[in-house]
Chain A
Amino acid sequence: MTCAEWQERIAAEEIDAGVRAHLASCGDCAEFVRELEANAAALREVTVPAAAYAAVRARVRAEVRRPRRRWIWAWVCAGAAAVIAALVLLATPRRAQLPLPDVAYAATPPHVIVPQTPVRVVRHRHTKRLAPRRELARAEQPMTIKLQTDDPDVVIYWIVDGKGEAL
């Protein structure tokens, strides 16, 4: 067995009679053991300043108290929310029994974005130019105006006659 192999066994704490016998006769391996012991001792000597402990304690105390306050506020908020919800529930049926005022129907119309140039829906079936008379008659036909609101799901179609009056 080489010294490297003995040292592996020593580092792995596989100390038996064979290792002890080798250590008694090998200066290099005995020095290896002394080095390991010196390293371990050096590691154990590392000290933590006393103030560091106090600082940790103070920080821990502050931290463990904080969640309690949060819970108190959470309960307060939950209670307030429950009271408000109960009041709303109590008030809602009474309102429903009252007839709706007429003004409710006269509410302001939704804000619409009117296109500057209303699109006229025209289908050209004939490539031939229409006679002026027919074109005039066509101008009197109803037009469809598409109104777009702020809500993309709401589109209003407005059908007007040639003079611009609603039909």
Chain B
Amino acid sequence: MTERLEAGGNADAFEQLMHAHERQVLGTALHMLGRLEDAQDAAQEVFVRLHRNMRKLDSADAVRRWLYRVTVNVCRDMLRKRHDTSALVEMAAPEAGPERLAEEAQRSRAVAQALRQLPEKERAALVLREIEGLSTREVAEILGSSEVTVRSQICSARMKLRRLTQEFLGKKV
């Protein structure tokens, strides 16, 4: 992959990169933005930027980290531009199928709703750490913060997420 990128970023290499990272980009954007249409817009912007910058990225890991960083930045820009925050709870939580308990599906929706209530930076830190499974150091690099700050943001985000989820589920906090 790296050699192909160095060779000049041809269309095949770009297609491969898109396929390899679309879950990462679209998933992160969906968790950040909470609406599939917005997440698609963000993912499109991220991949267009990747197309312009792929020659500068010299390894698969560099591409992965670069994509996380750009995805978070694009989502932040979109969140700042978005004035209407009322329709932020459209994130597609899984439907309660026969194999799933209704309580779990309810929790998924409540958690998705709670995630939307978190401050932008805490949400980004939590998404990268909890959902994408990055280390605190990686999250700090991507967000341009210190590890201490990120740890604090993640801690705060988890506590708030728990409290809000309980509120949405109608439990005592």
**0/1 interface trace, chain B 27-40, chain A, CB 8 Å (1 if under):** 10011000010011
Within 8 A of A (CB), among B122-173: 127, 130-131, 136, 151-152, 154-156, 158-159, 161-162, 165
Smallest CB separation, A138 vs chain B (Å) = 75
Question: Considering only CB atoms, which chain B residue lies closest to A8 in the complex?
Answer: B155
The answer to whether B111 and A48 touch across the interface, beta carbons within 8 angstroms, is no
Complex Cα distance, B47 from A130, in Å, reads 91
B91 contacts chain A at the CB level, 8 A cutoff: yes
Q: Contacts A8-B155, A13-B154, A36-B158 given: A42-B36 contact, CB under 8 Å? A: no
**0/1 interface trace, chain A 28-57, chain B, CB 8 Å (1 if under):** 000010011011101111111100110111
Stretch at the interface among B18-26, B59-67, B77-85: B18-26
Partner of B44, one of A13, A47, A59: A59
Question: Considering only CB atoms, which chain A residue lies closest to B132 in the complex?
Answer: A44
Residues in B neighbouring A13, C-beta threshold 8 A: 136, 151, 154-155
Q: Contacts A12-B151, A57-B18 given: A43-B159 contact, CB under 8 Å? A: no
Smallest CB separation, A66 vs chain B (Å) = 10
Smallest CB separation, B70 vs chain A (Å) = 13
Interface-centre pick from A39, A48, A63 (highest chain B CB count, 10 A): A39
Partner of B94, one of A7, A11, A45, A60: A45
A17 contacts chain B at the CB level, 8 A cutoff: no
17 contacts between A and B (CB under 8 A): A12-B151, A12-B152, A13-B155, A39-B114, A40-B130, A42-B112, A43-B31, A44-B130, A46-B94, A48-B23, A48-B26, A48-B36, A49-B92, A55-B40, A56-B26, A56-B44, A64-B51
Extra inter-chain contacts (19) besides given A11-B156, A38-B107, A57-B22, CB under 8 Å: A12-B151, A13-B151, A40-B130, A40-B131, A42-B93, A42-B107, A42-B110, A43-B130, A44-B130, A46-B30, A47-B92, A48-B23, A48-B27, A48-B39, A52-B39, A52-B40, A56-B22, A56-B43, A60-B44
